[in-house]
Amino acid sequence: MVLLLGGAGFKGPKGDNRMSKFRPSLFMLLHMIVLGIETSCDETAAAVVDGERRILGEALLSQTEEHRPYGGVVPEIAARSHLAHIDALVAEAMDQATIGYDDLDGVAVTGGPGLIGGVIVGVMCAKAIALAAGKPFLAVNHLEGHALSVRLVEEVAFPYLLLLVSGGHCQLMVVEEVGCYHRLGATIDDAAGEAFDKTAKVLGLGYPGGPAVEAKAREGDAGRFDLPRPLAGREGCDFSFSGLKTAVRRTADGFGENGEAAAQDVADLCAEFQAAVGDVLVDRCRNAMKPFRNRNNGGDGLVLAGGVAANGYLRARLEALAGEDGLRLFCPPPELCTDNGAMIAWAGVERLRRGMTDGLDFAPRPRWPLSE
Ligand code: KG4
Ligand code: ZN
């Protein structure tokens, strides 16, 4: 891999490092092709997407097996693995799309937030391609990738209410436009995905936990155990999951003589845990409806995005809520909910259409609030 460090004051192609005068033609709006790169956590991913919502090529390598022995993502292992695989994955996505770098209209990459070693690998790779091919560079906020991913699948009009639930984030926001996000609430401790992962760990279901807990929950009954619904019934749109996580651990501590849990105990606790998360998400979203409606007079979409949105039970709960309140639920397919390159490429298309490109002096960001 060629690593390029764009220092302060570095000028992009034609010496214009913000490219703010970029104005695409109508033809370009429809036919623009963007390469997207994602390396912020434990998925190394690249995809090529065009302005007509077509995924022309995509390649993804999950590092699950490398992190499994540690029960969670190890940043150093993640960064090294991204570095080892990113070139081949970009080449694979480009091959599938049967295009060359000259055919691209832009190169988008997750610029943060995330594990900084991985983010640096992706950003340097994208900068190298953008510079060598003379194409616009687009630094995408990972959360924006999730927030806009649904528009890669269907035409969801702005503004919409977004529930973003992933391994690192849990937020409710109004998506007013590309680049314009108003946060209504967020978690005050753990993210929802983290709670799924910790629950799986405590119950010996392995890593990553979300899909395993969902599968076990299907075999169990909610209600046999009694778990809390943190913040439910209270005002506001914030979330809290740490108390729920602790309650799961305490309940599991009481299982079996030697700490060995019976299969039915595990399934019932998973079902109760998932029901508790569902109750909390529904309660918080219900509180968000009023401020959402106060901020706009046209939007009728509730969008569910992020890795936890792959959960079928939670989708059904939010679909029911949206129906009650006269909103429509939109949710990307599961493979676009968890981290992927296509959502970053698509966010790149959305930004490129609006001339929102970045200079090669962009510095990768471990933290990057979306409302900034
Ligand atoms: O969006 P994502 O791939 O990465 C982050 O940006 O964090 O989300 C990963 C999270 C993990 O915590 C994982 O356990 C959770 O999404 N997840 C699920 C499901 N599939 C993935 N949680 C609940 N049910 C699922 N089916
Ligand atoms: Zn994510």
Residue 232: per-residue pLDDT: 97
Separation between Cα atoms, residue 36 and residue 46, nearest integer Å: 6
Whole-number Å distance, alpha carbon 239 to ligand 1 midpoint, is: 17
How far CA 132 is from CA of 33, 120, 357, in Å, comes to 17, 18, 17
Evaluate whether 14 touches 27 at the Cβ level (below 8 Å): no
Domain ranges of the chain: 3-153+337-353, 160-331
Residue 12: per-residue pLDDT: 34
Separation between Cα atoms, residue 121 and residue 23, nearest integer Å: 30
**pLDDT truncated to tens, each residue of the chain (372 aa)?**
333 333 333 233 333 344 455 666 777 777 899 999 999 999 999 999 999 999 999 999 999 999 988 888 999 999 999 999 999 999 999 999 999 999 999 999 999 999 999 999 999 999 999 999 999 999 999 999 999 999 999 999 999 999 999 999 999 999 999 999 999 999 999 999 999 999 999 999 988 899 999 999 999 999 999 999 999 999 999 999 999 999 999 999 988 755 557 999 999 999 999 999 999 999 999 999 989 988 877 789 999 999 999 999 999 999 999 999 899 999 999 999 999 999 999 999 999 999 999 999 999 999 999 975
For domain 3-153+337-353, the CATH class is alpha beta
DSSP assignment, residue 364?
P
Separation between Cα atoms, residue 108 and residue 336, nearest integer Å: 17
Separation between Cα atoms, residue 236 and residue 280, nearest integer Å: 12
Q: Do domains 3-153+337-353 and 160-331 have the same CATH topology?
A: yes
Q: What are the E-state strand segments in 142-225?
A: 160-165, 170-177, 180-186
Residue 258: per-residue pLDDT: 54
Residue 292: per-residue pLDDT: 94
Going by CATH, does the domain composed of 160-331 fall within 2.60.40.10?
no
Q: Which residues surround ligand 2, an ion (CB under 5 A)?
A: 166, 339
Whole-number Å distance, alpha carbon 326 to ligand 2 midpoint, is: 28
Residue 8: per-residue pLDDT: 31
Residue 21: per-residue pLDDT: 57
Mutate to test the pocket of ligand 1, among 308, 318, 368 (most ligand atoms within 8 A of CB): 308
Separation between Cα atoms, residue 332 and residue 68, nearest integer Å: 27
Smallest CA separation from ligand 1 atom 1, residue: 307
- Give Cβ neighbours of residue 75 (< 8 Å, ≥ 6 apart): 115, 116, 117, 118
Token pair of 333 as six digits: 């397919």
Separation between Cα atoms, residue 250 and residue 276, nearest integer Å: 16
Token pair of 294 as six digits: 């106060």
Cβ neighbours around 72 below 10 Å, total: 15
Smallest CA separation from ligand 1 atom 2, residue: 307
DSSP assignment, residue 275?
H
- What's this model's pTM, rounded to 2 decimal places? 0.91
